[in-house]
Structure 1
Amino acid sequence: MKLLAFVDMHGSLKALRKIIEKAKKADILVCAGDLTIFEQGMGYLLHELDKIGKPVLLVDGNHESVEDMRKACSLFKNTVFIHKKAYKVGNYLFLGYGGGGFSMVDKSFEKGSKLFEKEVNKRRKIDKNVYS
């Protein structure tokens, strides 16, 4: 599987064009946050990513709210919001956690990591090629 990962796009149309071009060689795209600058143009950016026709996994960055990103992603066929979720594609397990970025301690992440640990252990029982 070929993965195209990107982060901190901050609404850049130049970056979007590069992503669309590079996505031709990818099987799946992963945005690790800050797709926008405070959600400006989020619908347009998600629409353009969705048109690529490949799964686009996203988490919110510190420039997007969880609620707005979740709602916006749900409007498109190929965009999947994976904050605090596990998502399996083929033999690959993606664990999503977004937001934050300015704190030394994130209690919510500590709680969420228990879910991720359970998911990895569950997959490990099924597939001996799971690494963490």
Structure 2
Amino acid sequence: MTGIVIVVHTPLGSAMLDCAGHVMGKIDNVAVHDIQADDMPDARAPAVVADILRLGRDGGGVLVLTDLVGATPANIAKRAVLEAQAQGVQCAVLAGLNTPMLLRALTYRNLSLAETREKALAGGVQGVLRVD
């Protein structure tokens, strides 16, 4: 099973996981890192790496979801993934987290990491629609 780590601006991660739990029920094997405005990447990245390593223990890989490319949470996520990959854990990052992306990732995490990543990406893109 693909583990999922959410690294986003506070309080988005906790709120997104609560929303997913409302839709899907109890959710396991997910870690959330809500990043504060004054958090430093060097200080926060080790905890993200630790969660990636913990969730990647079973060999299913870890999908890291973040919100804005180039922002502090995304930089922390990228740094953590590089460190975890150097330690032998298969992992990938997707940016632009939205609710459909998270729900797809959770729904299809029984697939390979590559397949889970693509399903999540498709869900995120397909979930953005003009509704008028």
- TM-score of the two chains, using structure 2 as the length reference: 0.39
Is the helix fraction higher in 1 or 2?
2
Larger-gyration structure (1/2): 1
